[in-house]
Amino acid sequence: MKNTIPHFDERTLAIIEQVRACRRPGQKVFLVGGAVRDALLGRSLKDLDFVTSSDSGRLARCAARALKGGVFTLDDERQSARVILKAGEGQSLLIDFVLMTGGSLSEDLKHRDFTVNAMAVGIDELGHLIDPLNGAGSLEDGELRVADETAIECDPLRSLRAVRLSKAYGFKISPQTRELITRNLAGLDRVARERVRDEVFKLLEFADVRDSLRQLEALGLLEPVFPAIKQLRNNQQSQATAGELWQHALMAVEYLETLLSWVVGGAADQIKSHHLLRAVEQLSPWREGIKLLLEERFQPDRSRVCLLYLGGLHQVLASHEVTQKQNDEFNPHQRSKAGVIVSGFQLALSTAEIDYLNKLACFRTRLHTLAQNVMRISDREIYRYFEDLGPAGVDLALLSLVDFLASRGEKAAEVSWQVEVAAASRMIKAWFEERERVIEPPKLVDGYELQKELDLKPGKFLGELMAVIREEQASGLLVTHEDVLSFAREYTAQRRKES
């Protein structure tokens, strides 16, 4: 590589200066890994990794005090610690300190993942690149090469990291590295699912999600990451359709990315699909609202958009039998079946994330069904749709559109597509413009008043009555306080008579 002198920004230089001030006499400290790689490439630096010959924990605590950051231990055995600095609104800068592996810098670099991440600079000689594995040459060639033949075997998660780095930097994965990835596929089973989850979400953040999934497929990584795909292909009844389902899922992801690019950026000039162009024209009044909704997160470090991409894979990850038996009623029995679907991800997701994906999977045909009679979608049907789905109903409307296109392609009949778009638009409009009237009507009576007026006790029936009242309100049949009380008396009397 022609330029082998790293150039660090002022922020990084200030941090290095504080680390210098914190070290003890004779203590060797080096900046290693991604920060050196990015400095050579002229990219802005994010997180920093320091290795030291001794006292890594003390060095981290001292640096945290000097930089006014938080600090905690990562690994007692390797004496590694992390300092967290605020780097802007909602952003953090991570600075890791770790003891050298093997007792020397050259041994430490050999144990890293890829040669591009196996470069270092001493904090006293920032202009001198330490590069025993020719990582600079790998950068110049644009090729991702393992630092050692045992790199993938020692940490199989590096297989996924290879795909992510290839997307982030445009690297080709070297033939040797590809061979080592395929040789060590089984090793991913012993990697903590939280680590796999984090790599998957990082990968889904890059553009061209379909290409990322194809790369995983080409390297044999899909089934270790998503075990349900293996189950699907091993099912004799679904072997013939497994390939079709996977192609459908890839097309859905591609259409979804195009649609989401419009939601985020607002420009439709990159949309090649004339069907999607027709859709964004109708959805444009609520684009900003959809964008704000999709920016909400169930977890701070995992985006809702990435979850939506995972939702787009539901036809592959759901077993053929479960998918065939699903209908539009989301009862406890189906909630259990939905758990079977999402277990195919095995990505250590939160309860809220699992519930979100369950809803997208269980109700995936709901909007298609409503579209069959789009001109007569009632307020009651809208209420029930969002009662079941909540805000995820907006997400499902988008997913339903791309699912329809993935099934039929650009040759889909214009009339059929128009009714699908009309159904999705109707639901999205209701969420953003009619929520108080149709979806979340104001409470005209509370449970305490119903207990007093109808001589009821707290319990299952009272909850049922309140739910029925809300639905009747949303349908426009109950408008006043007296309407509600009158309806409640009649409903309660009828139920008492039946029992």
CB 135 within 8 A of CB 37: yes
Q: Give the pLDDT of residue 319.
A: 42
* Closest among 357, 358, 347, 49 to 199, alpha carbons compared: 347
Q: Give the pLDDT of residue 235.
A: 54
Residue in this structure with the two tokens 């989401």, named with its chain if needed: 260
Q: Give the pLDDT of residue 329.
A: 40
Tell me how far the alpha carbon of residue 86 is from its chain's centroid: 23
CATH architecture of structural domain 1-140: 2-Layer Sandwich (3.30)
Q: Give the pLDDT of residue 452.
A: 85
Q: What is the DSSP string of 458-481?
A: SSHHHHHHHHHHHHHHHTTS--SH
Strand bridging mode 143-144 / 172-173: parallel
Q: Is the CA virtual torsion 248, 249, 254, 256 positive or negative?
A: positive
| End-to-end CA separation in angstroms for the chain | 83
Domain residue ranges of the chain, discontinuous segments joined by +: 1-140, 142-225, 226-439, 447-498
Q: Give the pLDDT of residue 454.
A: 86
Q: Give the pLDDT of residue 226.
A: 84
Ordered per-residue pLDDT tens for the chain, 499 residues: 556 788 899 999 999 999 999 999 999 999 999 999 999 999 988 899 999 999 999 999 999 999 999 998 887 767 789 999 987 655 788 999 999 988 789 999 999 999 999 999 999 999 999 999 999 999 999 999 999 999 999 999 999 999 999 999 999 999 999 999 999 999 999 999 999 999 999 999 999 999 999 999 999 998 888 877 766 665 544 555 667 778 888 899 999 999 999 999 988 888 999 999 999 999 999 999 999 999 999 998 899 999 999 988 865 565 444 444 444 443 433 433 344 445 556 788 999 998 998 888 888 889 999 999 989 999 999 999 999 999 999 999 999 999 999 988 888 889 999 999 999 999 999 999 999 999 999 888 888 888 988 888 888 899 888 899 889 988 888 889 898 898 988 888 888 888 7
3-state helix, strand, coil in the chain (%, to 5): 65, 10, 30
CB neighbour list of residue 497: distance below 8 Å, 6 or more residues apart:
none
Q: Which residues are bridge partners to 143 per DSSP?
A: 172
Burial label for 31, CB within 10 Å (0-12, 13-18, 19+), is buried
Q: 1-140 with 142-225: one CATH topology?
A: no
CATH of 142-225 among 3.30.70.100, 1.10.110.30, 1.10.10.10, 3.30.420.10: 1.10.110.30
- Quick one: DSSP state of residue 301? T
Q: Which residues are bridge partners to 82 per DSSP?
A: 72, 96
CB atoms within 10 A of CB 306: 18
Q: Give the pLDDT of residue 341.
A: 47
pTM for this predicted structure: 0.87
CB neighbour list of residue 255: distance below 8 Å, 6 or more residues apart:
273, 276, 401, 402, 405, 406
CB 180 within 8 A of CB 152: yes
Q: Give the pLDDT of residue 331.
A: 43
